[in-house]
């Protein structure tokens, strides 16, 4: 087992296969039974994972639908609906062999046709991220009922990272083919291959999932079911965990300042892993088009003037890590040695501003800038207040601007801002979630979450283009290391925090949080202690 997993993650990763990618602890005989009650907030719009990938949808639908692969905490691919896979030496052909005896929840068999339907028809029409992934394919074919072959137009090494349940959920062809996917009446009763089946949804109250007795993994799942309770209020959610009325809280369910208090309770266990698939970094986005932001010394001064440890400790109450550069430590190809460090140092910050000719004027002010606050809750307001004060100390006077979510995205997309707080998910590989905000070909006015800063560097463009084409991992790493060195020297954005999210689990359950998809994954190994 172990050696096979090493093959998977090894430099070439050309050939790989494994029957079950389970943590060692799951080997022993497990108790069957028990219902895990989890918090759901807010209520999802629907449970069809192919049609909607908002956080609450993923949480519930992740038990119903599956992808071809899973990923462990270190982002090594593990088998899920695909039993094994091979990559051709030229890096262009990916061949997946499917598990045997997989059935949809309505009893129909799951075959390679379903995979082809999902990846060529369903997902490209309704799922923007999957569309981007499968646009890279010249063909997707099923030579037989248990084999699927993806032929790429160009080498794209991170292609194996396109198969997360939320990235490419497998959808039943016999239900959706030839219908209007969004309007299919069966959307009310989702049909997947996962370990739990949809039973009931009482809006405003709860969603009940029950054990799928025909699940393809022998003897799994252990739990009788999973119940999601809708609890709209933060204080009530904390109380529910505290009293044991609810067994699982995750993400933003519990306010940051409450996490440590709850984690200290004897019946609660705190995990900080389980978000490696998204691994967001928060930063101060900077519009390079206007002075003084075009000058990298100004941005470097901002890096030096902000105490990132303070933010993690006092604003996120210990959840998160100070960010050092563009690639999250949890994302592939992070290189701690390559990044240029910007310790909290007011003298250096002032020296840089001085060098630019920004002398202190009345009230010690060197520059006045505007900064948009993120419209996603109080923690971002506190962070904005801190940054405003921190920059004031080196003579940068910040005027905070608050917008609604719509106004905020529009202004960012239209480049109608000076600076703004932001956070962006990385989706496991730099090519998926990092490149998009730094490459000049992605400077597209009116489209948010692109290179809205207007940052242009030819070498950066080149490296981001070439790195994913390397079949040799060492070469890819060298390119990404160079990228991290360049970007941390030029500071296109002021990185603040690698966001971490808590997973609070009642100790009466085991093996709940076992992969990079954390609370969103199947729970087919979870069991009572």
Partner 1 sequence: MGGRLGFIAQRLVKAVFVILGIIVLNFLLIRLAPGDPALVLAGEAGAADPKFVDDLRREFGLDLPLWRQLLIYMQGILSFDLGFSYRQKQPILDLILARLPQTILLTGTALTFAIVVGVSLGAMAARHVGSWWDSAITTLALLVYAMPQFWLGLMLVLLFSVQLGWLPTFGMNTINSGFAGLEHALDVGRHLILPSLTLGLFFMAVYARLTRASMLEVADLDFVRTGRAKGLPEGRIQRRYILRNALLPVVTYAGLQAGYLVGGSILIETVFAWPGIGRLAFEAVLVRDYNLLLGIFIVASVLVIAFNLLTDILYTVVDPRIEMGT
Partner 2 sequence: MDFLRRFARNKGAVVGAVVLACVVLLALAAPLIFPETPWEIVGPPFRKPGEMGFLLGTDTLGRDVAAGIAHGARVTLLLSLVSTAVALSIGVVLGAVAGYHGGWVDDVVMRFTEFFQTIPNFILLVVLVAIFTPSITSIVVAIGIVSWPPLARIVRGEFLTLRSREFVQAAHVLGQSSPRIIFGEILPNALSPVIVSASLMVATAVLLESALSFLGLGDPNLMSWGYMIGASRTVIRHAWWISCFPGVAIALTVLALNLVGEGLSDAMNPRLARKARA
**In the complex, which residues of this chain contact partner 2 (CB under 8 A)?**
234-235, 255, 257, 314-315, 373, 378, 381-382, 384-386, 388-389, 392, 399-404, 407
Strands 419-424 and 367-373: parallel
Longest CA span, the chain: 76
Which ranges of 146-224 would DSSP assign to H, the alpha helix? Answer: 173-176
Least gap, CB of 148 to partner 2 (angstroms): 50
- Alpha-carbon distance values, 183 to 43, 48, 51 (Å): 20, 11, 10
For residue 242 the two structure tokens come to: 């505290």
For residue 511 the two structure tokens come to: 């093996």
Query: Is residue 447 within the footprint of partner 1 (CB under 8 A)?
Result: yes
User: Which listed option, partner 2, partner 1, none, makes contact with residue 496 (CB within 5 to 8 Å by class)?
Assistant: none
Helices 296-305 and 473-490: angle between axes, nearest 10 degrees: 90
For residue 469 the two structure tokens come to: 């084409």
Query: Is residue 427 within the footprint of partner 1 (CB under 8 A)?
Result: yes
Spatial distance between the Cα atoms of 30 and 22, rounded to a whole number of angstroms: 14
DSSP 116-156: HHIIIIIHHHH-HHHHHHHTTEEEEEEEETTEEEEEESS--
Q: Which neighbouring-strand residues pair with 400?
A: 371
User: Which listed option, partner 1, partner 2, none, makes contact with residue 506 (CB within 5 to 8 Å by class)?
Assistant: none
CB nearer partner 2, residue 296 or residue 313: 313
Least gap, CB of 233 to partner 1 (angstroms): 4
CB nearer partner 1, residue 92 or residue 234: 234
Query: Is residue 376 within the footprint of partner 1 (CB under 8 A)?
Result: yes
Query: Is residue 377 within the footprint of partner 1 (CB under 8 A)?
Result: yes
CB nearer partner 1, residue 42 or residue 364: 42
The answer to whether the CB of 352 falls within 8 A of the CB of 301 is yes
User: Which listed option, partner 2, partner 1, none, makes contact with residue 223 (CB within 5 to 8 Å by class)?
Assistant: none
User: Which listed option, partner 1, partner 2, none, makes contact with residue 401 (CB within 5 to 8 Å by class)?
Assistant: partner 2
User: Interface mask (CB under 8 A) for partner 1, residues 390-409, using x and -?
Assistant: -------------xxxxxxx
Query: Is residue 442 within the footprint of partner 1 (CB under 8 A)?
Result: no
Query: Is residue 231 within the footprint of partner 1 (CB under 8 A)?
Result: yes
How many residues interact with partner 1 (rule CB under 8 A)?
44
Least gap, CB of 260 to partner 2 (angstroms): 11
Spatial distance between the Cα atoms of 132 and 120, rounded to a whole number of angstroms: 12
DSSP letter, residue 157: G
Strands 93-98 and 147-152: antiparallel
User: Which listed option, partner 2, partner 1, none, makes contact with residue 203 (CB within 5 to 8 Å by class)?
Assistant: partner 1
Q: Which residues bind partner 1 (CB under 8 A)?
A: 37, 42-45, 53-54, 128-129, 131-132, 203-204, 229, 231-236, 239-240, 245-246, 375-378, 403-410, 413, 425, 427, 446-450
């Amino acid at each position: 087992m172990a050696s096979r997993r090493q093959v998977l993650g090894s430099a070439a990763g050309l050939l790989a296969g494994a029957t079950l990618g389970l943590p060692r602890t799951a080997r022993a005989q497990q108790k069957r039974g028990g219902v895990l009650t989890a918090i759901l907030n807010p209520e999802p719009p629907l449970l069809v994972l192919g049609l909607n990938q908002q956080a609450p949808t993923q949480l519930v639908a992740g038990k119903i639908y599956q992808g071809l692969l899973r990923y462990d905490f270190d982002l090594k691919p593990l088998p899920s609906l695909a039993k094994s896979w091979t990559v051709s030496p030229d890096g262009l052909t990916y061949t997946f062999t499917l598990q045997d005896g997989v059935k949809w929840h309505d009893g129909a068999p799951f075959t390679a046709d379903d995979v082809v339907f999902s990846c060529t028809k369903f997902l490209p029409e309704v799922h923007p991220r999957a569309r981007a992934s499968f646009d890279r394919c010249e063909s997707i074919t099923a030579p037989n009922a248990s084999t699927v072959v993806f032929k790429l137009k160009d080498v794209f090494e991170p292609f194996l990272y396109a198969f997360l349940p939320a990235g490419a959920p497998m959808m039943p062809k016999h239900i959706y083919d030839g219908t209007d996917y969004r309007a299919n009446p069966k959307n009310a009763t989702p049909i997947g291959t996962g370990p739990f089946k949809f039973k009931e949804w009482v809006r405003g109250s709860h969603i009940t999932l029950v054990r799928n007795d025909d699940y393809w993994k022998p003897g799994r799942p252990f739990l009788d079911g999973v119940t999601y309770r809708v609890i709209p209020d933060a204080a009530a959610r904390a109380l529910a965990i505290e009293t044991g009325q609810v067994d699982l809280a995750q993400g933003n369910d519990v306010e940051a300042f409450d996490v440590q208090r709850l984690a200290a309770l004897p019946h609660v266990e705190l995990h900080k892993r389980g978000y490696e698939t998204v691994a967001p970094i928060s930063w101060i986005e900077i519009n390079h088009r206007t002075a003084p932001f075009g000058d990298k010394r100004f941005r470097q001064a901002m890096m030096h003037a902000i105490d990132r440890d303070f933010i993690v400790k006092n604003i996120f109450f210990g959840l998160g890590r100070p960010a050092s550069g563009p690639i999250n430590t949890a994302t592939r190809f992070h290189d701690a040695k390559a990044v240029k460090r910007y310790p909290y140092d007011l003298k250096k910050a002032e020296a840089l501003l001085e060098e630019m000719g920004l002398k202190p004027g009345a009230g010690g002010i060197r520059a006045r800038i505007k900064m948009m606050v993120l419209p996603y809750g109080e923690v971002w307001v506190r962070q904005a207040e801190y940054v405003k004060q921190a920059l004031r100390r080196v003579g940068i006077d910040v005027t905070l601007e608050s917008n609604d979510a719509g106004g905020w995205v529009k202004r960012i997309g239209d480049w109608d801002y000076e600076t703004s707080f932001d956070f962006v998910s990385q989706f496991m590989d730099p090519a998926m979630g990092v490149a998009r905000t730094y490459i000049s070909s992605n400077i597209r006015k009116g489209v948010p979450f692109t290179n809205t800063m207007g940052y242009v560097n030819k070498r950066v463009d080149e490296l981001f283009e070439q790195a994913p084409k390397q079949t040799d991992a060492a070469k890819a790493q060298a390119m990404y290391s160079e990228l991290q060195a360049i970007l941390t020297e030029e500071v296109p954005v002021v990185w603040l925090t690698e966001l971490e999210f808590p997973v609070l689990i009642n100790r009466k359950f085991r093996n709940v949080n076992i992969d990079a998809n954390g609370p969103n994954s199947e729970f087919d190994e979870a069991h009572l202690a």
